[in-house]
């Protein structure tokens, strides 16, 4: 059922109770799809995500001539790899606002032995950083032209393969550019050495390395180099040409970022939520965003891992605590915390998020505007956000009627502030937050509001 353009959020009248089966990881799904496409033979991805971002990747691979079959009912995507060959030598690819598809497909097309490929996206995608990747690929021999603004979409690639060698890239704006190079390194004619500078989001690069290892016979290598106190640390990654092999079937983990909303829900409502198949311990998950669980526990949640998944809960009246944390390694979750800051018992200080200004929206500026709309005291920095809760002002403003939260076409605004709206601020179940354009969640989590309403109904039925 289509969502209305303005969706009031009905608070939970009782503590949350129930299961939240979140979809597969977007980051894992799109990385695994690309590796399956350049491996030799068929690969079935199980537990895969079906959303706008992954459908964009699947559609692009089909336009490149690859056999991609999707079975949403079974949660499976089947891709028949051609051992690195791209069958179609001329194609126009649309990447929408999908950053992973944009960076990964650019690298894939540049690594093709021959062909002319044109890539473009939405107006917002044309603003997102691509220069570092474009320049890195050019240094490896790629012919990439920018018909519009240099270093941005649209791109035209006249492919004749990548020679390998050493390349230096500023990864502070997006670690996806490093991942893109590592994903196509098996196709290069010689070993590829990537030196990444800036604030590298290492968990996502490590995810890429482990996925390449799952498809390849050789291990990629990566380590920090230079003095520990260097102003600009350098991370060096080495990957060589190799023949990727299909693992046959590859399981996609539940999305740790999507899980953050339901892990945080008990902070707003009390009670407990079980997330099946989720893993939190380092080494058991490929996703760095699972580290957000530590933040939730510091705020006041209890999180327990079981064989079948993770339970997040909040029991008792103990006040929630504001926290001060660096989110640079798992910044996709910072909005989850920022949205809850009005109901915490002290200031919240979030750092390490400068690069989120160039994602689907300027997330720092947007968060500041929406929290100020809720009457909170907000200090916006270039790389930070500080929120001082003002509960009396929150109640006064919300008492005038539901506060309309702008989402800027960004799925993470819709989901984060929806969790805040589940808090029964008035004590009588009256909606006090309404989400504009809630359908933007289709980008990564099409059934988010269905799952949220199901949990609300489960809480009403619980004894």
CB 370 within 8 A of CB 413: yes
Measured CA to CA, the distance from residue 168 to residue 178 in angstroms comes to 10
CB 88 within 8 A of CB 62: no
Measured CA to CA, the distance from residue 153 to residue 130 in angstroms comes to 8
361 class by beta-carbon count within 10 Å (0-12 exposed, 13-18 middle, 19+ buried): buried
Q: Is 196 left (phi over 0), alpha (psi -120 to 50) or beta?
A: beta
Measured CA to CA, the distance from residue 375 to residue 339 in angstroms comes to 13
235 contact partners, CB below 8 Å, separation of at least 6: 171, 178, 195, 196, 197, 200, 202, 205, 222, 223, 224, 225
Which tokens in the block code for residue 344?
């915490």
Q: Is 51 left (phi over 0), alpha (psi -120 to 50) or beta?
A: beta
Choosing from 53, 332, 410, 424, the catalytic residue is 332
Task: State yes or no: is 332 an active-site residue.
Answer: yes
Residues marked as catalytic: 332
């Amino acid at each position: 059922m289509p969502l209305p353009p303005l969706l009031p959020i009905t608070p939970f009248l009782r503590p949350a109770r129930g299961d939240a089966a979140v979809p597969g990881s977007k980051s894992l799904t799109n990385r695994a799809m690309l590796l399956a496409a350049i491996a030799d033979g068929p690969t079935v991805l199980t537990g895969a995500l079906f959303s706008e971002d992954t459908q964009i990747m699947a559609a692009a691979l089909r336009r490149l001539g690859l056999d991609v079959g999707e079975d949403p009912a079974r949660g499976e995507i089947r891709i028949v790899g051609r051992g690195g060959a791209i069958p179609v030598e001329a194609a126009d690819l649309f990447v929408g606002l999908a950053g992973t598809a944009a960076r990964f497909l650019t690298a894939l097309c540049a690594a093709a032995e021959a062909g002319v490929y044109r890539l473009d996206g939405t107006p917002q995608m044309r603003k997102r950083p691509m220069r570092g990747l474009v320049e890195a690929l050019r240094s490896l021999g790629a012919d990439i032209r920018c018909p519009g603004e240099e270093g941005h979409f649209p791109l035209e690639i006249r492919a004749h393969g990548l020679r390998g060698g050493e390349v230096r890239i500023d990864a502070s704006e997006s670690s996806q550019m490093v991942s893109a190079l590592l994903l196509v390194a098996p196709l290069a004619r010689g070993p590829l050495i990537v030196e990444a500078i800036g604030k590298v989001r290492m968990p996502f690069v490590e995810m890429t390395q482990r996925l390449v290892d799952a498809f390849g016979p050789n291990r990629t290598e990566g380590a920090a180099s230079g003095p520990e106190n260097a102003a600009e640390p350098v991370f060096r990654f080495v990957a060589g040409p190799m023949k990727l092999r299909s693992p046959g079937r590859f399981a996609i983990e539940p999305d740790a970022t999507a899980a953050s909303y339901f892990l945080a829900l008990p902070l707003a409502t009390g009670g407990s939520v079980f997330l099946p198949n989720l893993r939190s311990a380092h080494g058991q998950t490929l996703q760095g965003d699972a580290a957000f669980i530590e933040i939730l526990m510091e705020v006041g949640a209890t999180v327990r891992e079981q064989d079948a998944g993770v339970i997040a809960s909040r029991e008792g009246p103990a006040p929630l605590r504001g926290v001060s944390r660096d989110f640079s390694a798992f910044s996709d979750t910072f909005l989850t915390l920022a949205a809850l800051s009005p109901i915490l018992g002290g200031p919240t200080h979030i750092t390490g998020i400068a690069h989120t200004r160039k994602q689907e929206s300027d997330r720092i500026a947007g968060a500041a505007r929406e929290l100020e709309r809720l009457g909170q005291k907000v200090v916006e920095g270039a790389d930070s956000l500080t929120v001082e809760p003002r509960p009396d002002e929150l109640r006064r403003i919300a008492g005038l009627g539901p506060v309309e939260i702008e989402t800027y076409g960004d799925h993470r605004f819709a989901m984060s502030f929806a969790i805040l709206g589940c808090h029964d601020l008035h004590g009588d179940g009256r909606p006090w937050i309404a989400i504009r354009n809630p359908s933007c969640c289709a980008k990564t989590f099409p059934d988010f509001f269905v799952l949220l309403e199901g949990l609300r109904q489960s809480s009403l039925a619980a004894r």
